[in-house]
Amino acid sequence: MKRDFTDAVFDVVRLIPFGRVTSYGAIAKHIGSAQSSRMVGWILNKSLNEKDKVPAHRVVNRSGLLTGKNSFGEPNKMQTLLENEGVIIVNDRIVNFKTVFWNPSTELNDSF
C-alpha cells in the first residue's frame, strides 16, 4: 500500500500537542511533499472514516481557517473541539493562530 505518505500524515497529526494546531502545508513540507498540501487534507478526510482517530480538527489551512469543518459531519464540531482546547475561534478562523500554531519541522526539529 502507499501508506508512506498516508502513514506519515497520520503520524504527524497524532503528534500535535493539546491546544495546538498546524497547517496542511506545514505537514506536507515536513513529510517531503510540500506541494502536495491537498493530499494532506484528502488523507485526513479518509482518516475520519478510519478507526485510527487522529486530531484532524487540529489541522487547518495556512490562514488558520477551519476549511475542513464542513467534513466533520457537523461543521460546529471542529470549532467546538478546538475551543475546548483553548483555541479562540471567530468566524471559523483561529484568532491566535500564530500563537497556537505548531510547526512539525520546528518542534520536532527533524529529530526522527
What is the binding site for DNA (CB under 7 A)?
2, 5, 23-26, 28, 33, 35-42, 44-45, 47-48, 56-57, 59, 61-63, 67-68, 70-72
C-alpha cell at 9: 500524515
CB of 26 to DNA, least distance (A): 7
Kindly tell me which of 14 and 62 has the beta carbon lying closer to DNA.
62
Q: What is the length of the chain?
A: 112
Contact 72, 92 (CB under 8 A): no
C-alpha cell at 23: 497547517
* Geometric angle at alpha carbon 99, from 34 and 24, rounded to 5°: 20
CB of 64 to DNA, least distance (A): 9
C-alpha cell at 1: 500500500
CB of 108 to DNA, least distance (A): 17
Kindly tell me which of 2 and 98 has the beta carbon lying closer to DNA.
2
CB of 109 to DNA, least distance (A): 20
Q: Which of 44, 12, 16, 47 is nearest to 30 (CA)?
A: 12
Kindly tell me which of 47 and 87 has the beta carbon lying closer to DNA.
47
